[in-house]
Amino acid sequence: MRKKTPRAICLEILRRVEEADRHPDALLSDSFKQYRHLTPLDRAFLTELTYGILRWQGKLDWVISRFLRGPLEKTEPAVLNVLRLGLYQILFLTRTPVSAAVNESVELAKKIRGKGGAGFVNAILRSVVREREKIVYPDITKDPILHLSVMESYPLWLVQRWVSEWGLEETHRICRAMNQISPLTLRTNTLKISLEDLIQKLREKGLTPLPACFSDDGIVVKDAPPVSEIPFFKEGLYIIQDEASQLVTEVLGPQPGERILDACAAPGGKTTHIAQRMESEGEIYALDISREKLGLVEEACKRLGIKIVKIVKTDGTKTLPLPEKMKFDRVLVDVPCSGFGTLRKNPDLKWRRGEEDIKRISELQASILANVSRYVKDGGMLVYSTCTVFREENEDVVESFLDEHTEFRLDRIGDVLPEKCHRFIKDGYFKTFPPGGEMDGFFAARIRKGQTFLC
C-alpha cells in the first residue's frame, strides 16, 4: 500500500481546518505523529504547502475563478482545495516542477471524484500554466483596495477597514508584514535555566538562537526546524510563546507571594510566565471554560516544574467557584478574541472569521471583564489583553468598562515596561499593531482598582 504523500496529507489538513475549526499548527503536529514515514524534507514541504495555501487563498481563488465557467462558490470544496494545492505550487514554489504539481493534483482529484474530477483539475491547471502571464489582476489605479485584497490575499472587508484607519500605504505595509512567516520564539523557563545557558545549549545542538529584542526571557531561533525537532522541550527548559505575549506578563507585573487570577488561562503560556515571575512563591488560580484546554495548562505546569497553579473549570461570565470573599492582588483577563493579530501563525483566520464575528466576540469580552473585575482587591491590578487588532475588541471594551466601573482607572504602563518597550505604548495602552517588529499584534490595558492614576 502506497504511503500517504505530503500533498495528500495537506488536503486532509485543509479539510479539517474548514470543518473542525482547528488551527493548522495543531493539525500539522498531529500529522507528524500519525505519519511516521515522513522525512524532515516531507514535513517541511507539508508545512510550506499548508501555510502557503491558507495564506494565499484569496489570490489563488482569484486566479482559479478566471478559468472557471461558473462561480467559484459552486465548486466542490474538496476539488477546490486540490486546485489551490496545484496552483500554489505553480505560482509560488519555483523549485517544484510544474509537471509534478499538475500531475500529482490530477491523481488526487481522481481519488476524490474519479475521471471527471481529474479531467476538470487537469484542464484548469494546464490552462493556468499556458496563460499565467495573461492573467488580469485588479488595477491598483482604478480600485486600489480590491487590488490589495487580491494581490496580498486578504478579505475585502479587512482591507477596507485598515485603509480607513491607517491609509493605503500603511495598509500595504501591514498586509506584507502579516504575510511573512513568523519566527520561532521561545520563552526561557528561568525556574530551571538562565537565558544565556539555554542559548548555549541550543547552539551546541546546531541551532541559531538569539536573544529576543524586547522580552528578557525570549529567544528567537533563526531558520528553525519543525518544533518537534527542537531539543530540551520535554526537559521543560522553555515554552513556545510569541514575544508580544511574553510582554503582557510584564504589563501585569506579578510579584512573589501574591495571589493572582488568570481568568482565561488556556493554553498556559501566560499562566506559567506569571509563575516564573513570582519565583514559584504565592498562588495562581487558572480558569478556563474548557476541561480539554485546561489539560494543556496542567501539562505545561508539570513539564516546567510549576506547582503553585490551581486549575478551575468555569465560565468567566458567571460567578466564579472560589472561596467566599476571595480577592486577588492581580487579575489577568486574556479574553477570547478574533485573533487577527496572529495572522502570520494562523492565516486561516482571514477566511474563517468575518466582520460580523467582531461584535459578537466583543460582547463576550465585555461580559468576562465586568464579571472578573469583581475579584480584584482594593488597590489591586487588572490587565485586559487580546491578540487582535480591532478597536471594538480592544479600546472600546476597556473604555466602556471604565465608564461603568468608576472605581477603576488606567494605570501607567510605562512604569512597568522597560524603556526599550515604550515604543509600543500608544494612547496609554500596550499595542504591537501595526507591526513594528517581529511580534504578533497584541493589546493590553493596565487598570488599577481604587486609585486615580491616569496615563
Work out the average pLDDT over 219-229.
89
pTM of the predicted structure, to 2 decimals: 0.94
Q: Give the confidence band of 2 by pLDDT, cuts at 50, 70, 90.
A: low
| 417-427 pLDDT, tens digit each | 999 999 999 99
* Amino acid (one-letter) located at 198: L
Q: Is the dihedral of CA 222, 227, 231, 237 positive or negative?
A: positive
| 151-198 pLDDT, tens digit each | 999 999 999 999 999 999 999 999 999 999 899 999 999 999 999 999
Domain presence at residue 454: no
Domain final residue pick, 222, 240, 258: 240
Q: Are residues 62 and 161 in the same domain?
A: no
| 99-134 pLDDT, tens digit each | 999 999 999 999 999 999 999 999 999 999 999 999
Least Cα distance to 42 among 181, 226, 188 occurs for: 226
Q: Are residues 170 and 191 in the same domain?
A: no
Residue 218 belongs to a domain with what CATH number? 3.30.70.1170
Instruction: Given the residues 337, 387, 421, 455, select the one marked as catalytic.
Output: 387
Q: Give the confidence band of 23 by pLDDT, cuts at 50, 70, 90.
A: confident
| 290-344 pLDDT, tens digit each | 999 999 999 999 999 999 999 999 999 999 999 989 999 999 999 999 999 999 9
Q: Are residues 29 and 110 in the same domain?
A: yes
190 in Cβ contact with 276 (< 8 Å): yes
Q: Are residues 86 and 56 in the same domain?
A: yes
What is the C-alpha to C-alpha distance for residues 401 and 419, in angstroms, rounded to an integer?
A: 28
Domain presence at residue 455: no
Domain presence at residue 254: yes
Residue 313 belongs to a domain with what CATH number? 3.40.50.150
| 358-399 pLDDT, tens digit each | 999 999 999 999 999 999 999 999 999 999 999 999 999 999
Domain presence at residue 95: yes
Residue 454 has pLDDT above 50, yes or no: no
Q: Are residues 208 and 271 in the same domain?
A: no
Q: Are residues 326 and 377 in the same domain?
A: yes
Domain presence at residue 139: no
Residue 435 has pLDDT above 50, yes or no: yes
Structurally, the chain folds into a number of domains equal to 4
Q: Are residues 309 and 428 in the same domain?
A: yes
What is the C-alpha to C-alpha distance for residues 16 and 163, in angstroms, rounded to an integer?
A: 32
| 343-352 pLDDT, tens digit each | 999 999 999 9
Q: Are residues 346 and 267 in the same domain?
A: yes
Domain presence at residue 88: yes
Residue 57 belongs to a domain with what CATH number? 1.10.940.10
Domain presence at residue 284: yes
C-alpha cell at 269: 503560556
Of the two residues 453 and 445, the one the predictor is more confident about is 445
Task: Answer yes or no: 387 catalytic.
Answer: yes
416 in Cβ contact with 277 (< 8 Å): no
Work out the average pLDDT over 3-30.
90
Domain presence at residue 24: yes
What is the C-alpha to C-alpha distance for residues 388 and 431, in angstroms, rounded to an integer?
A: 10
What confidence score (pLDDT) does residue 154 get?
Answer: 98
26 in Cβ contact with 228 (< 8 Å): no
What is the rounded end-to-end Cα distance, in angstroms, of the chain?
A: 66
Q: Give the chain as a 3 state SS string.
A: CCCCCHHHHHHHHHHHHHHHCCCHHHHHHHHHHHCCCCCHHHHHHHHHHHHHHHHCHHHHHHHHHHCCCCCHHHCCHHHHHHHHHHHHHHHHCCCCCHHHHHHHHHHHHHHHHHHHHHHHHHHHHHHHHHHHHHCCCCCCCCCHHHHHHHHCCCCHHHHHHHHHHHCHHHHHHHHHHHCCCCCEEEEECCCCCCHHHHHHHHHHCCCEEEECCCCCCEEEEECCCCHHHCCCCCCCCEEECCHHHHHHHHHHCCCCCCEEEECCCCCCHHHHHHHHHCCCCCEEEEEECCHHHHHHHHHHHHHHCCCCEEEEECCCCCCCCCCCCCCEEEEEEECCCCCHHHCCCCCCHHHHCCHHHHHHHHHHHHHHHHHHHHHEEEEEEEEEEECCCCHHHCHHHHHHHHHHCCCEEECCHHHCCCHHHHHHEECCEEECCCCCCCCCCCEEEEEEECCCCCC
373 in Cβ contact with 404 (< 8 Å): no
Q: Are residues 405 and 328 in the same domain?
A: yes
Residue 229 has pLDDT above 90, yes or no: no
Q: To which residue does cell 472578573 refer?
A: 372
Of the two residues 288 and 226, the one the predictor is more confident about is 288
Which residue range(s) make up the domain with 161?
144-178
Q: Are residues 445 and 299 in the same domain?
A: yes
Q: Are residues 340 and 403 in the same domain?
A: yes
Q: Are residues 266 and 381 in the same domain?
A: yes
